[in-house]
A and B are shown apart, each in its own frame.
Chain A
Amino acid sequence: MLQSALFEGYDPGAFYDEMFAAPGQPRPQYRKLFQKLASMAPGQFEEKRKLADLAFLIQGITFTVYSDGQGTERLFPFDLIPRILARSEWERINRGLSQRVVALNLFLQDVYGRQCIFKDRRIPRSLVYSCPQFRREMIGVEVPRGIHTHICGIDLVRDSKTGEFCVLEDNVRTPSGISYVLENRLVMTRTLPDVFRAHEVLPVDHYPAELSRILRSLSPRGEAEAQIVLLTPGIYNSAYFEHSFLARQMGIGLVEGRDLIVDGGMVYTKTIRGLKRVDVIYRRVDDEFLDPLSFRPDSFLGVPGLLAAYRAGNVALANAIGNGVADDKAIYSYVPEFIRYYLAEEPILGTVKTYLCGKAEDLAYVLDHLPELVVKPAGESGGYGMLIGPASDAKRIEEFRRCIQANPRNYIAQPVVPLSRVPSYDSEGGCMGGRHVDLRPYCLYDGEKVTIVPGGLTRVALQKNSLVVNSSQGGGSKDTWVLRGED
């Protein structure tokens, strides 16, 4: 049994602990980290932690929380203890995610194209067509190189019961968070350089170059002339920091809707030297705000006529329009079927048992078991508007019951997944405590292969016993390491 003041009294508890196989017994990939932390002088960890916080503050790495009444912009809390994935474990995740991304892309090609999956009765048309994110405007539109899911941030969780990773949700619209992966790594290497150097951690910093390569490959005028911009909703968006970060990293323009204009079916940026054609838009504006002519007419964030230019093949968008139908939480339960149908393979990663409230028998079960289930709106993301049964009082459960009954198609329910935990610093207690985590790897798809930067964003529910890791709901993050060897 190894000793460390920092971990004195640390209790892995009843959950799968990512670091400890048993009290005082770190798993193989964590052994070196444990030794390094154990060898620190008293107070040194606390000092390092403060340095890391300061680094984030000085660099202004923030995000915005909607509807909480407080100041909107916040620091994204960073926990200094990294989360480490064994190489073999990562390889399996990598294969499983690649498989999933390709299947999701094929599904999107199909539902907006020939719609074979309906004819073959693998998913009811009504389930797809009733999804508010299904964009009829995209039916028959041929997207550049057939790619819909250029960038996916698929959320994984490790189920404490099985110790296995499974997919919690697919984010294939405009997933955010990669900037924190890159910044976390930077701060980590500066704050704990010798700890980091003692490990052979696979790098993550090639992400912007890889994304840039894919965006360039979509250009309708060829790669040499490709003009690429990142379209942001603006400074009030929760991920504006990331938009400006990525634009800077890739050396592309950061624009808002009012900076673009469509003329003669082409998209241009307005510059001081006149109009300049745009070939590829990495858009971080949601579908419904993208073009007021085709979607919400009251939107000021988009570009009128953009969809027409896209339809004509004069501009490429990443991600494609209409992807929300693939990460709808009701359709999620069919993704293993998509993998079998489109790829003739068995899914590598598991999924969480999901009850569709739109189905009569599922609805009855859900309404009978609300206190033990997690209920989510099918079309939302970011952890907004969900019910965690075991953590809710009777009043809130009744509120949800009424919401579900009023619009059953809009809700799904899942059993509570006992998320694994990683030791994280509890600044109130001044000690380490097990905190629940998930994992969001970022997958880039170029139409042939899926590239995933090793690791991803580990989000951590910093409040004791909380299961909600979303940054919008008070979560923080950790640097995530995949080790080259199997140490």
Chain B
Amino acid sequence: MNRYRLVHTTEFLYDGPVSESYNEVRLRPIHDEQQSCLSFRLHTTPGSHGTAYRDSFGNWVHQFNVLSEHRHLKVEAESVVLAHEPSGGVADPLLLAEFDSLREELDDTYFDFVAPTAYVPHLTGLAELLEVATRASDGTVQGFAQAASNLIHERFRYVQGATHVHSSIRDSLSIGAGVCQDFAHLLLGMLRMRGIPARYVSGYLVPGSTASVDAKQEEVIGGQASHAWAEAMIPQQGWMGFDPTLGRPVALRHIRVAHGRDYGDVAPVRGVYRGHAGQRLAVDVRVRPALDDEGREQLNESAAPPLVAPSILERPQQPAQQQ
């Protein structure tokens, strides 16, 4: 069973009234040859105007504003996604030595996915990991990426709270721990320093129990179902996923939502609002196998006319770390 219904709920609770809230979400699953996004709906409470566009990385972005005064903002994204069976591997995987002759071309074509970023600076501290991964690999590009992913999985501890949403790989590298966002960034760092174009993937990991053939009930998997991993561009093979947190191949249980240079490009929800109030953030993702009649409707978004109200101070909406 690889057709899933996902409900991703983000709730902001404010201590006092806020207004003029402008938000942009990247919550609509990718629709391509690897997976089909059969339906997508976005609900906000209070109701809002919505518009959508595709960003320069090809991700769907939905924007909505809540101008009137509110103390609570709930964003609910509901989607039905079909994961496709992967096509077989290539017979003759590209060797690192062959790859190196293509470097100059790749550096230019995939500049964004090779260059360092704020979350993923090129660090000399990664050199030792690169060396180990090179020795452990079978000499192919894919083998190197797999070895790098395995190495991060073995060397780093998965510890919630060890890092925060703005942590760069400098932090996770120094403490030897992090969450999936950090693991994905570490893998990006290793791949890019080796010259392999790599991108951050934001998405969901469907629990093994839901994915089993006889699963029926809904699973509450909390913020943890919001997942992140990395994809490497392997010439002649295309983008290939590696999940250093899970330590297992990226397959039918990985649902892709957005990709970019790092977390900063694909944050699921971000926004600004006016008001002095403090805020709390709650994220919840529920997933269950989709029923037979789900996912047949048209892709659409909710929209309701907003009201206007005066306001005071602008604040960024608290972002959620991908764990």
Residues of A within 8 A of B271 (CB): 293
Evaluate whether A305 and B108 lie within 8 angstroms (CB atoms) in the complex, with A265-B51, A297-B316, A311-B53 already known.
Answer: no
Q: Which of B53, B56, B272 contacts A293 (CB 8 A)?
A: B272
Contact (Cβ within 8 A) B314 A262: no
B111 touches A129 (CB 8 A): yes
CA distance A261 to B53 in the complex (A): 20
Asked whether A298 lies within 8 Å of B316 as measured between CB atoms, the reply is: yes
Residue A139 interfacial (CB < 8 Å): yes
Within 8 A of B (CB), among A295-347: 297-298, 300, 304-305, 308, 311-312
* Interchain nearest-CB distance for A205 vs B (Å): 40
- The closest CB in chain A to the CB of B53 belongs to A311
Interchain CB contact under 8 A, B272 and A304: yes
Query: A292 to B51, Cβ gap below 8 A?
Result: no
* A-contact 0/1 string along B45-74, CB 8 Å cutoff: 000010101111100000101010000000
Is B305 at the interface (CB under 8 A from chain A)? yes
What 0/1 readout, one digit per residue, does chain A (262-303) give for beta carbons within 8 Å of chain B?
Answer: 111100000000010000000000000000111001101000
The reply to whether B108 and A292 contact each other, CB–CB distance below 8 Å, is no
CA distance A391 to B54 in the complex (A): 50
Shortest distance in angstroms between A363's beta carbon and chain B's nearest beta carbon? 17
B22 touching A304, Cβ below 8 Å? yes
Check: B308 CB closer than 8 A to any chain A CB: yes
- The answer to whether residues A129 and B305 also contact, given A263-B67, A297-B272, A305-B65 and a CB cut-off of 8 A, is no
Q: Is A137 an interface residue (CB 8 A)?
A: yes
A139 to B112, CA, bound (A): 14
Interface string of B16-51 (1 = CB under 8 A from A): 000010111000000000000000000000000101
| Closest Cβ–Cβ distance, residue B173 to chain A (whole Å) | 21
- In the complex, number of A-B residue pairs with CB atoms less than 8 Å apart: 69
A140 & B56 in contact (Cβ 8 Å cutoff) = yes
Tell whether, in the assembled complex, residue B63 and residue A305 are in contact, meaning their CB atoms are under 8 Å apart. yes
A342 to B254, CA, bound (A): 45
The answer to whether B314 and A300 have CB atoms under 8 Å apart is yes
Cα–Cα distance between A1 and B310 once the two chains are bound (Å): 73
Residues of chain A within 8 A (CB-CB) of B109 are 125
Interface residues in B283-323 by Cβ distance below 8 A to A read 305-306, 308, 314, 316
Contact across chains for A263 and B308 when beta carbons are under 8 A apart: yes
Chain A residues near B107 (CB-CB < 8 A): 126
Cβ–Cβ < 8 Å partners of A118 in chain B: 108
Return B259 CB to nearest CB of chain A, in Å: 13
Chain B residue at minimal CB-CB distance from A274? B308
> What's the Cα separation between A305 and B67 when bound, in Å?
11
User: For the complex, is A130 an interface residue (Cβ under 8 Å from B)?
Assistant: yes
Answer yes or no: A28 CB below 8 A from chain B CBs: no
Distance A261 CA – B65 CA, assembled complex (angstroms): 11
Which residues of the other chain, A, contact B272 by a CB distance below 8 angstroms?
Answer: 292-293, 297, 304
Count B-side interface residues using an 8 Å CB cutoff: 28
B residues in contact with A305, CB < 8 Å: 22, 63, 65
Name the A residues within 8 Å of B151 (CB-CB): none
Bound CA–CA A126/B197 (angstroms):
13
Does B314 lie within 8 Å of A292, measured CB to CB?
Answer: yes
Nearest-CB residue, chain B, relative to A265: B51
| Inter-chain contact B115/A129, CB cutoff 8 Å | yes
- B317 CB, min distance to chain A CBs, angstroms: 9
CB-CB nearest in chain B for A139? B56
Which A residues are CB-close (under 8 A) to B55? 136-137
Hey, which chain B residues are within 8 Å of A251, CB to CB? none
How many Å lie between the Cα of A304 and that of B49 in the bound state?
A: 14
Residue of A nearest to B112 (CB): A129
Given contacts A265-B49, A275-B308, A297-B272, contact A304 B56 (CB under 8 A): no
Interface status of A9 (Cβ within 8 A of chain B) = no
Within 8 Å CB of B53, what residues of A?
Answer: 308, 311
A258, chain B: closest CB distance, angstroms: 9
A304 touches B314 (CB 8 A): yes
Residue numbers in A under 8 Å from B24 (CB-CB): 293-294, 308
Considering only residues 257-294 of chain B, those with a C-beta below 8 Å from chain A are 270-272
- A248-B54 Cα distance, complex, nearest whole Å: 39
Are A264 and B316 touching (Cβ within 8 A)?
no
Give the distance in Å from the alpha carbon of A140 to the alpha carbon of B58 in the complex. Answer: 10
Looking across the interface, which residue of chain A has its beta carbon closest to that of B261?
A: A136
| Chain A residue at minimal CB-CB distance from B260 | A136
Residues of B121-178 contacting chain A, CB below 8 A: none
Name the A residues within 8 Å of B270 (CB-CB): 293, 297
Task: Give the residues in chain B near A60, CB-CB below 8 Å.
Answer: none
B108 and A125 within 8 A (CB): yes
Report whether B112 and A264 are in contact in the complex, using a CB–CB cutoff of 8 Å: no
A300 to B20, CA, bound (A): 13
User: Is the pair B56, A264 in contact by a Cβ cutoff of 8 Å?
Assistant: no
Bound Cα distance from A302 to B193, whole angstroms: 37
- Contacts A124-B108, A136-B56, A312-B51: A130 and B115 contacting too (C-beta < 8 A)? yes
- Pairwise interchain contact B63-A264, C-beta atoms closer than 8 A: no
CA distance A483 to B22 in the complex (A): 53
User: Other than the known A129-B111, A263-B306, A265-B51, what 9 A-B pairs have Cβ atoms closer than 8 Å?
Assistant: A129-B112, A292-B314, A292-B316, A293-B63, A298-B316, A304-B272, A304-B314, A305-B63, A311-B53
Name B residues whose Cβ lies closer than 8 Å to a Cβ of A.
20, 22-24, 49, 51, 53-57, 63, 65, 67, 107-109, 111-112, 115, 270-272, 305-306, 308, 314, 316
**Interface CB pairs A-B, < 8 A, 12:** A130-B111, A140-B54, A140-B56, A261-B20, A264-B305, A292-B314, A293-B63, A300-B314, A304-B314, A305-B63, A305-B65, A311-B53
8 smallest CB-CB distances across A and B, nearest first, come from: A139-B56, A304-B22, A297-B316, A136-B56, A129-B111, A126-B111, A305-B22, A292-B272
